[in-house]
Structures are given as structure tokens and as C-alpha cells.
Chains A and B, each alone.
Chain A
Amino acid sequence: MREHLDQQLTRLNHDLIKMGAMVEAIIDKAVTSLKNQDLELAKSIYTDDDAIDEMELKIEKDCLNLIALQQPMAKDLRRIASALKIITDLERIGDHAVNIAKITLDIGNEPLMKPLIDIPKMAEIAQNMIKLSLDAFVNQDIELAKKAAEMDEQVDDLYDTVINEVFNYIQKDSKFLNQGIKLLFVGRYLERVADHTTNICERIVYMVTGERVEIN
């Protein structure tokens, strides 16, 4: 029974995974282009973000249609409501990638004050969080969602390290001030990416159990 609804829910799953993969990739691209000072790659992020925005609108429209036409109840309703919230967080992550790209373009070919290590690490963990959270969404796996959310702490710790390191550079020589502030922003954006992913994980717990939780 309700095969039609089930098919549409499966399609919603696929679209969310697709959007998640796009978001995971855009973060990777943003940090890679910064690290390698690849300005062409940074520019392409704008187009990728447009595609993410379009995907958000598509999923939102599909969710509203499902609610209007199928009158979903209980777990079906929670799944659709969660999807609506999750896409907002994913879309915001896309925006943060654009913010990072802006900084990359701003720094341009000016040499980096040091090779970037912790910022790419933050990005890597955040990407992994996104990936795990979407796996958790698809498999309705609350343990995996919690595990992904707990990784937020690692990102926060790295962010603290980045702040300290940049401060040290600036204290040593004020010529690092301009670029240092920009890199601090990059750290801040990545920290926000991890926070949005934590929101997604909390949504997944709600979707599966009907209970609202705050992880971290």
C-alpha cells in the first residue's frame, strides 16, 4: 500500500543525497582552491552554488507537493518536515563555500603567510560529517547521526588552534594582519559548516524518534 508515496519518498531521499554530495564537493573545492591559490577553481564555485540553490528549491517544491497531495502522517510527515529543514542547512553550507571562495579571490596571488594545514583538516572533518549525516538520514541511523554530530568538537578544537596560530603570526609581524583576518574568517565559515551539519544530525534524530534533542 501507498507505493506511490513510497516512490516519491525514495526520490526525495535520492535528491537529498545528491544535494549533500554537491555540498560536500563544494566545501572540498573551496578549501582546495584556497590552499592551492587556484583562482579559476574558486570562480567555478559560484556556478556550483547556483546549482545547490536550484536543488534546494526543487526539493522544497517536491516536499510541499507531497504534503499537499499525499497528506503524509507520522513518520512520513516527520521525514518530509526534516527534509525541509535539512535543505536549508545544506544551502547555508553552500553559501559558506562561496564566502571562502570570495576570500580566495581576494587574496589572489599574494603568497600565503604559511602553508595551510589545519584549515584543510577542518574542511575534511566537516565534509566527512556531511557525508555521515546523509548516510544517517538515508538509513535512519540515529547512532551514526550522533557520531557525525560529535565530530563537531574536533572542528571547534581546530578552529581554536587556527585562531591562536594566526594571532601569533600577527603579533610577530603586522604585515600578516590583512591575510590573517581573512584566514580567521575561513576558519569561522568552516566552523559554521560543522554547526549546520550538527543541526542536520539533530533533525535526523527527530525524524526517526520524534524526540527533539540537542547534540553538543
Chain B
Amino acid sequence: MEPILSIRNLNFYYGEHKALKDVNMDIYKNNVTAFIGPSGCGKSTFLRTLNRMNDFIENVKVEGNIIYEGKDIYSKEMEPVELRRRIGMVFQKPNPFPKTIYENIVYGLRKNGVNKKEVLDEVVEKTLKAVALYDEVKDKIHKSALELSGGQQQRLCIARAIAMQPDVVLMDEPTSALDPISTMKIEELVLELKKDYTIIIVTHSMQQAARISDYTAFFLNGEVVEYDETSKIFSNPRDKRTEDYITGRFG
């Protein structure tokens, strides 16, 4: 299988604190990869290194390589804004802009100079359909996105991310602020979206990782303890620490 991202010997520091220790991993195309582990284990930090979101934090240091399309994303040739267009992100809390549904989706395109109405209309319809939101909002796409429910807002944020036609979508606990029904809708959506995108998701819910991911990485104290097919991780993990964590006997 073809890796879309290859991470080699990655170390990450917040000041003196080493938050990621020698991470090596291949992320496979058109798969869902889940990162699990206790709070502070480094999973979200690792996710943010994948599209250089950590650039916004002061006093951090990155060592090692993250290879995307043959290039190291931390090399000089890589333009961070372009990188984030190709590797989009969805956050824990839905964060739509205080604009209309329509303008939320086309925001990135407009920023990139796309203003042709027919093009934008098509993208809005297509992405709203892709996130299964079209039927619910088709009569109010020119109304404020803030009028939507939390679950709808999160699907809108996913629509906003995929409107830029990224290769990879990073999701940082995308359902932790949502009710169970909205969570199920997002999970179903993730399973649909993997046909066209590579999805990497950080989740606190092991059941969620088990339900939707193809590969799972278990993080502990900044290290990847185990990375394997999800079915293997949840039925017969190799490492006792993984076993203890996923059976709820941690510590």
C-alpha cells in the first residue's frame, strides 16, 4: 500500500520538554488512521506537526523528517500555506466563521482568487452533499453558519476543509463536543470521505477508533508504543501497554 506521509525519526520539543520521541510511521492513502492514547501522550502534538500547525506556537523545535510527495514538509521549498491547503484540518470544537454557510465553504477558494460564481456555487453544492448536509441546509445557505446545530457546524467545517480539495484531512477529536447522533453522522461521513481523502483522526474514544479507522497508533509519553491494523490492535495487540490501555486497565 502506498504511504502518503512518511514520518522518520521525529522528535518534537516544547522548550526543554520533549513531547515526541523518535516517531516513525507511514500513513496510508485513502485510509483512516486513528491516534489514541491518554491525555498528554503527544497524539495531538503529532497531528499538528503533520501540517505544521505547531509553527504558530513559540519556542518549539522539530527534528526528523515528514515526507509528503517526496519532499520534507519542514524543508525550505515547502510553503506552509500551500501545505495546509493540501493537508487540511478540522478541530475539536466546530469553528465556523461568523459568515453565511456559503461564504464559510468558499472562504479558502476566494482567498486563492477564485471568485467565479458558477464555480463557487458548484463547490458549495458538491461539498455540502459530500458531508451529507445539503438536504438539511439547502434553503438557508445564505444564512449565518452560527444558526446551525453543533453537529451541523462540524460537518460544515469538514465541508470547508474539503472545499480546498486537500489530499489529507486531519481531525483533532472532531466529535468530542457533539451528541451521540451527531457523532455517528460524523463517523459515517469519515467512512464515506476516505474514498476521496486520507483521514487522520485523534480521538479519546477507543470505540470510535475501532469503528472507523483502518490503522491505529497508540501513543504513550510521546512515543508510539504500537502502530498496526486497527483490527489487530483491538483484538490482539503486541505490547502489554497497548493491551492495558485498550482493555481499560491502564496504570
Contact = CB atoms under 8 A, between A and B. Distances in A.
A78 B247 contact: no
B251 A73 contact: no
A71 B235 CA distance: 12
Contact of B246 (A1, A5, A74): A74
B173 interface: no
B251 A1 contact: yes
B243 A71 contact: no
A73 B236 contact: no
A1 B235 contact: no
A201 to B, nearest CB: 19
B236 A76 contact: no
B234 interface: yes
A1 B248 contact: yes
Contacts of A74: 234-237, 242-243, 246-247
A78 B207 CA distance: 16
B232 to A, nearest CB: 9
A108 interface: no
B235 A2 contact: no
B249 to A, nearest CB: 5
A75 B248 CA distance: 11
A122 to B, nearest CB: 36
B247 A2 contact: yes
A171 B237 CA distance: 59
Contacts of B234: 73-74, 77
Nearest to B206: A73
Nearest to A2: B248
Size bracket of the A interface = 10 to 19
A5 B248 contact: yes
Interface in A1-34: 1-2, 5
Interface string B225-251: 000000000111100001100111111
A76 B246 CA distance: 10
Nearest to A209: B236
B246 A210 contact: no
A210 B233 CA distance: 11
B247 A75 contact: yes
Contacts of B251: 1
Interface in A144-158: none
Contacts of A75: 243, 247
Contacts of B249: 1-2
Contacts of B236: 74, 78, 210
B247 A72 contact: yes
A90 to B, nearest CB: 24
Interface of A: 1-2, 5, 71-78, 210
25 contacts: A1-B248, A1-B250, A1-B251, A2-B247, A2-B249, A5-B248, A71-B207, A72-B247, A73-B206, A73-B210, A73-B234, A73-B235, A73-B248, A74-B234, A74-B235, A74-B236, A74-B237, A74-B242, A74-B243, A74-B246, A74-B247, A75-B243, A76-B247, A77-B235, A78-B236
Given A75-B243, A78-B236, 12 more contacts: A1-B249, A2-B248, A2-B249, A73-B210, A73-B234, A73-B246, A73-B247, A74-B236, A74-B246, A75-B247, A77-B234, A210-B236
10 nearest A-B pairs in the assembled complex, by CB-CB distance: A210-B236, A73-B246, A2-B248, A73-B234, A76-B247, A74-B243, A73-B247, A1-B249, A74-B247, A74-B246
